Amino acid sequence: MTRFVDHPWLLAVALLGGLFAVFAVFAGHRRRQERLARFGSPEALVRLGPPGLSLVPRLRALRLAVAFMLLLAGLAAPRWGQGSAVIDTEGIDVALALDVSLSMLAEDERPSRLERMKQEVRRFRASAPGDRVALIAFAGRSYILSPLTSDDGALELFLENLDPTIVGQVGSALAPPLKQGIDLLSVSQGGADRALVVMSDGEAFDDHAAALALAREAKAKGIHLVTVGFGTPGGATIPMLESGGTEVKRDAAGEVVITKYDDAFLSELASEADGEFIAADASDKGTRVRRALAQLESTRREEEQKLARPLRFQWFVGLAVLLLLVDAWRADGGRLPRRRAAISVTLLLALLGIPTRARAQRDGLAEAIRLHEAGRILPAIKAYRGVIAGGDRRPIVLYDLGTALLAADSLAASIDALERATFTPDPDLRSRALYNLGTAYLKQGLRSEGEQRSGALRNARRALRTVLLERPGDRDAQWNYELALRAPQGGGGGGSPQQPQQPGQSPRQPEPQGRMSRQQAEALLDAAAREERETQSRRQRGSRGQRAPGEKDW
């Protein structure tokens, strides 16, 4: 269950505090009346004293009670919604190239090479919280999962979903991630030193000379290269995901594949770049990577981090201060010294945080939404990008931008924005972002060929499958998921495919539809998964006879 306050017990204290404030006000009034009674009769005091001298201070008791409860409620650390915070950090820029080829599923490291690699990445992040980190996944090709960021939440979400299906091209090649990491770090700004960390079992089947040349290029550009090994020299078999781990990978001749850790190539790459190689048998590799980069020069910078359910105590404290100001004004007979008033108002504004920049961003976002709803997609895209460039990178803004890009048929840019929008704690927004993301991948797949087509359709099925599990009655998602299942895989068209159900021109709002039970949805998805596994098995059996001699796909 979601907790809206960090310290719920303080809410009970707040109620008791309010009762105490009421008691204190009335007790004070009674003592005052007792002291005044010494100077004369009540009738004389009413006639000679100021107006309201004998009135019971009910309103003051209410003001102070509410103010006291608001202050304690603020101390309880209330949280809701989304927000951001700017923090000072110090660190370097690091690109982590992570091997997600099939060979990383081998279990010669427990629980597997892939899972052990994830554990070491988490250890590295824990030892270097100020570093900006980019994630690159690679197998037969490489793919940037995350640009340079110090947002641990976003990095962890990418890390959790890391598996061999994320890249979409089988095999193992080290040159592409080296090239992509060098290019990404070459354009990084901020003055910090840069490092490229490659985590792999070293079993690569591409051109070793090209990878070694890229290692020398990294050295020339001042990028420190660290290679980290995983696996054992004796090797292990590769469990197949589609069989649930009951079958193992076989080569073109039908022989069981034994994948072996290749430390020689990883060591040679590090040597060519004057970097450092960390062997697979080393303990605590994540901390060793941190030590290898310790001599690099870091830089201080301000980082905006997205917060889910940020602290909202300012509103409670601000209202409490406002009530105390009113009480002080009333207690002073309606007069409040100018200096005290100026200080109090300044404090109140600081607590409530009235930001002109935030107001300008809200105005820009409102204009972008207005253009979007009016069907002026290109000006809306420009306006959304302006809002994001101004610092507003909330998932809802990324979702609106991705939806507008999808409407403009800019699929690659739309996919990038919508993927980032899916990392939101709001389940409704996440579902809508996943639907539009699946639609974008589906359109991309229907227009592509070969491995790019297969990868895009696979990503479409994954996104739409999640929508169906969360919203079994979503007919649009069912339609698009069916198209993604039935689309020809990898090859040519085979007729004119039906078109995906499009999202709306404005942010897609789910409409009430005839609902399917969760059991029916899961049965549909299980059947689809079986069909997909059978299709992949047929493709693998059919491609064995066409594979070039010696070609390896793990």
pLDDT band per the 50, 70, 90 thresholds, residue 423: confident
Query: Alpha-carbon dihedral of residues 523, 529, 534, 540, nearest 10 degrees?
Result: 180
Cross-strand bridge partners of residue 132: 93
- What's residue 496's pLDDT? 41
Side-chain half-sphere CA neighbours of 480 within 13 A: 32
Q: Which amino acid, residue 272? A: E
pLDDT band per the 50, 70, 90 thresholds, residue 363: low
Residue 165 near residue 149 (C-beta atoms within 8 A): no
Phi and psi at residue 309, in whole multiples of 5°?
55, 65
Instruction: Tell me what the mean pLDDT of segment 206-233 comes to.
Output: 93
Contacts of 183 (CB under 8 A, 6+ apart): none
- What's residue 336's pLDDT? 52
**Residue 300 vs residue 47, higher pLDDT:** 300
Q: Is the pTM of this model over 0.85?
A: no
Q: What is the mean pLDDT of the chain?
A: 78
Kindly state the tokens that stand for 107. Answer: 């279990």
Cross-strand bridge partners of residue 99: 138
Instruction: Give how far the C-alpha of residue 225 lies from the chain's centroid of Cα atoms, to the nearest Å.
Output: 27
pLDDT digits (tens, 9 = 90+) for 464-513: 888 888 787 788 888 888 888 887 765 444 334 466 666 644 443 333 33
Q: Which amino acid, residue 404? A: A
- What's residue 182's pLDDT? 94
Instruction: Tell me what the mean pLDDT of segment 306-310 comes to.
Output: 61
Kindly state the tokens that stand for 6. Answer: 């960090």
Helical residues (DSSP H) of 132-174, grouped into ranges: 152-160
The rounded distance, in Å, linking the Cα atoms of 464 and 483 is 11
Query: Does residue 212 have a pLDDT over 90?
Result: yes
Instruction: Tell me what the mean pLDDT of segment 383-402 comes to.
Output: 84
Contacts of 450 (CB under 8 A, 6+ apart): 490, 491
3-state secondary structure of 5: strand
Residue 184 near residue 148 (C-beta atoms within 8 A): yes
pLDDT band per the 50, 70, 90 thresholds, residue 168: low
Handedness of CA 464, 465, 469, 470 (dihedral sign): negative
3-state secondary structure of 327: helix
Number of residues assigned to the chain = 554
Residue 195 near residue 93 (C-beta atoms within 8 A): yes
Query: Tokens 């800019």, residue?
Result: 410
Residue 461 near residue 485 (C-beta atoms within 8 A): yes
Complete domains list, the chain, with CATH = 9-78+312-352 (no CATH), 86-303 (3.40.50.410), 394-544 (1.25.40.10)
Query: Does residue 51 have a pLDDT over 90?
Result: no
Angle subtended by helix axes 518-544 and 475-486, to nearest 10: 10
Q: Which amino acid, residue 274? A: D
Q: Which amino acid, residue 2? A: T
Contacts of 161 (CB under 8 A, 6+ apart): none
Closest to 478 measured CA to CA, from 441, 445, 524, 518: 524
Query: Does residue 373 have a pLDDT over 90?
Result: no
Strand pairing class (142-149; 132-138): antiparallel
pLDDT digits (tens, 9 = 90+) for 513-540: 333 444 544 554 555 555 545 544 444 4
pLDDT band per the 50, 70, 90 thresholds, residue 248: confident
Kindly state the tokens that stand for 360. Answer: 């300008």
Instruction: Give how far the C-alpha of residue 192 lies from the chain's centroid of Cα atoms, to the nearest Å.
Output: 24
3-state secondary structure of 187: coil
The rounded distance, in Å, linking the Cα atoms of 395 and 438 is 17
Q: Which amino acid, residue 192? A: A
**Burial class of 189 by CB neighbour count within 10 A (0 to 12, 13 to 18, 19+):** exposed
Residue 272 near residue 215 (C-beta atoms within 8 A): yes
